[in-house]
Amino acid sequence: MMAIPKISAAVMRDRMVERARRERIPLQADIEIIATCNFKCVHCYIAPCAEREDVMSLEQATIVFDKLQAAGTQMVLLTGGEVFTHKQFKEIYLSAKRHGFEVYINTNAYLIGERWANFLAEWPPKGLSISLYGMSPESYERLTGIPKSYERVMRAIDLLLERGLIFDLKCPAMTITAEELPAMQAFARAKGIRFRTDYSIIPQEKGDAGPLQLQLPPHEVMALERRIDPELKSFRGYAALRVDGSTTDAVYKCGAGRTSLHINVHGGVSTCSTSRKVVGNLFAESFDDIWATLGGKVAMKYPAGHPCASCQFSRICAGCPATVEQLTGLPTGYVQMYCKMTHQRAHELGYHPTGVPRTVTEGIPAHVVTPTRTAARMLPVLA
């Protein structure tokens, strides 16, 4: 009978992902259990405008878990804000595990000392993702605004490593981190930890576009990518699977709204953590109704004449519908900065002769929505 078949967790997960894609099952959910944070990061789009009451209680989290469990969710990411500042974090985390989810955690790790490290070792998450903000006390504190943040996070990393926990490190690439990013990557590599970075900065949730001033312009993104990965191996492999000369008018090409979703502290559901446009509320509406609405959103197509609809690089674009939505107000907007980044990358990889997008030489069609005036004022002028 082989009641427990000998197949690896990875094979089983692939099988589940394939079926979830086919049948549009919300396999993965990001749940924001607290919006406030113990850091004051200059680039953050959530915590600076969060209030003390922006917290999901254990009872509310249980409602969310029950609904996700019934809908077929298998992986949940608990995120914030800073989750370890949540007074009921332990209970929420254990409830998620007891619902049978594979649980992931986003954290800045500042509060992870011996006790939390021992707890996580006893009740291991499927994965931890730790934000790293520099390689010296000075740079760390300049970004986080918190004394001793560098020392505390470095200690947490060692405590977690000593206990064999699986985690990765990540840092947003921006004007104030760019210089140290290669050193962060080297640090992670020396410790055997995966490191990743992201080049898109978005405005604060309630509209302040200040963080956009930290956005690296396209030519600096390219230079930084070359420093981190001189042969562009990782991007080359990514692009090889996605650039074949074809185009698509589908706006959403990721799993958002198809196999994944995001839930904020008040139960508001959006496509992903980057998108702050909620389409329904899990505390007030049925999951099925909200999931159907989300499905409608991610099925949208670009209007005729939109530059992205005829772009063969749209599947490797530096922007995505969520970041574009944050800058323009619409997922179907157009952000030329992302377009320039993407074409420069395509040029570096030999896919494009000049690296200059058509919209630079031919202009942006008048009916296409571009960044709001506030966002445009903050974005790099040399983009």
Which residues of the shown chain bind another protein in the complex (CB under 8 A)?
1-5, 7-9, 12, 15-16, 19-20, 25, 27, 69, 72-74, 97-102, 121-124, 126
Measured from the CB atom, the residue of 98 and 373 that comes closer to another protein is 98
Judged by DSSP in three states, 301 sits in strand
Q: Least distance (Å) from another protein to the CB of residue 164?
A: 8
**Both tokens assigned to 322:** 């969520």
- Between 12 and 360, CB nearer to another protein: 12
Minimum gap (Å) between residue 230 Cβ and another protein: 35
Cβ 334 to another protein, closest distance in Å?
36
Contact assessment for residue 237 and residue 245, using Cβ atoms and an 8 Å cutoff: no
Q: Which is nearer to another protein, 9 or 381 (CB)?
A: 9
Decide the pairing of beta strands 194-198 and 75-79.
unpaired
**CA proximity to 50, closest of 30, 33, 31, 34:** 34
Q: CB-wise, 15 or 196, nearer to another protein?
A: 15
**Residue nearer to another protein on the CB measure, 28 or 326:** 28
Spatial distance between the Cα atoms of 199 and 75, rounded to a whole number of angstroms: 25
First to last CA, the chain: 62
Q: Is 64 left (phi over 0), alpha (psi -120 to 50) or beta?
A: alpha
Q: Which is nearer to another protein, 146 or 160 (CB)?
A: 160
* Among candidate residues 340, 335, 334, 331, the one with its CA nearest the CA of residue 252: 331
Q: Which of 27, 369 has the CB closer to another protein?
A: 27
DSSP string over 213-257: GGPPPHHHHHHHHHHH-TT-HHHHHHHHTT-SS----BS--SSBT
Q: Which residues of 274-300 are buried (b: 16+ CB within 10 A; e: fewer)?
A: bbbebbbebeeeebeebbeebeebbee
Dihedrals phi, psi of 198, to nearest 5 degrees: -140, 140
Output the smallest distance, CB 5 to another protein, in A. Answer: 5
Please report how close the Cβ of residue 342 comes to another protein at its closest, in angstroms.
Answer: 33
Provide the minimum distance between the beta carbon of 99 and another protein in the complex, in angstroms, as a whole number.
Answer: 7
